[in-house]
């Protein structure tokens, strides 16, 4: 009988798991998905109103300053397009800046932005929600909100340092390998 009880409990546990997962999925389709769709629609409308040429010009200006290049541009890219589409913003950069941009874009700011803007990377939202729900259960909603804001601000403040470090490392390795960034940049436009 112990084996039979175990199997019954296992089946009930699996059924509860699937029911809870279905309820969570349904909650996402009524909460997060509409939020993401509306956010992306509004942002696309803004870009359309501003004009793509003006937006491109603005984005290119951001690449000239190290702070803007590794903070504003990646955050703007992730906010406007989300993952993985945000990588296309690399087109505004000189080749020597791309390693730092991609590092910041993918690793440094993806999860912190998701804390406040779930449309940025919905594929990993469950990780943040697990941490957030644990903090909320242990310390309350104010602590969860504080965690989200502090995570975002910490990443925002460290993005330039991380991007610049990766840029310098890539420059060192390129020099060591005999790679001339200007030649790489020029070859982009020959194809």
pLDDT of residue 12: 85
pLDDT of residue 191: 58
> Does some domain include residue 19?
no
Q: What domain count does the chain have?
A: 1
> Does some domain include residue 22?
no
16-20, 36-40, 51-55: least confident range: 36-40
Tokens of 186: 């020029």
> Does some domain include residue 102?
yes
The predicted-structure confidence for 15-36, as pLDDT tens digits, reads as follows: 888 888 888 888 777 776 777 6
The helix (H) or strand (E) run that includes residue 182 is helix 181-188
pLDDT of residue 102: 92
Q: How many Å apart are CA 68 and CA 101, to the nearest integer?
A: 11
pLDDT of residue 26: 82
End-to-end CA distance of the chain: 73
> Does some domain include residue 158?
yes
The predicted-structure confidence for 138-179, as pLDDT tens digits, reads as follows: 999 999 999 999 999 998 889 889 999 999 999 999 999 999
> Does some domain include residue 15?
no
> Does some domain include residue 1?
no
The total number of residues written for the chain in this structure: 191
> Does some domain include residue 143?
yes
CA 69 to chain centre: 16
The predicted-structure confidence for 73-124, as pLDDT tens digits, reads as follows: 998 888 888 777 788 888 889 999 999 999 998 888 888 888 888 878 877 7
**Higher pLDDT among residues 92 and 4, named by residue:** 92
Q: In which domain, by residue range, is 75 found?
A: 51-188
> Does some domain include residue 41?
no
Confidence of residue 47 (pLDDT cuts 50, 70, 90): confident
Whole-prediction pTM: 0.70
pLDDT of residue 169: 96
């Amino acid at each position: 009988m112990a084996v039979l009880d175990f199997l019954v409990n296992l089946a009930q546990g699996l059924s509860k798991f699937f029911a809870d997962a279905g309820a969570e999925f349904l909650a996402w389709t009524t909460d997060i998905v509409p939020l993401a769709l509306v956010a992306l629609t509004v942002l696309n409308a803004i870009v359309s109103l501003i004009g793509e040429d003006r937006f491109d010009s603005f984005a290119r200006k951001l690449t000239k300053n190290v702070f803007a290049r590794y903070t504003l541009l990646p955050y703007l890219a992730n906010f406007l397009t989300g993952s993985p589409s945000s990588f296309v913003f690399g087109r505004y950069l000189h080749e020597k800046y791309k390693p730092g941009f991609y590092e910041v874009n993918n690793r440094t700011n993806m999860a912190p932005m998701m804390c406040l803007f779930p449309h940025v990377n919905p594929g990993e939202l469950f990780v943040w929600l697990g941490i957030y729900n644990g903090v909320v259960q242990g310390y309350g909603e104010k602590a969860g909100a504080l965690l989200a804001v502090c995570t975002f601000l910490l990443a925002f403040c460290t993005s330039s340092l991380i991007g610049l470090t990766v840029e310098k490392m890539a420059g060192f390795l390129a020099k060591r390998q005999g790679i001339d960034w200007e030649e790489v940049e020029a070859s982009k436009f020959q194809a």
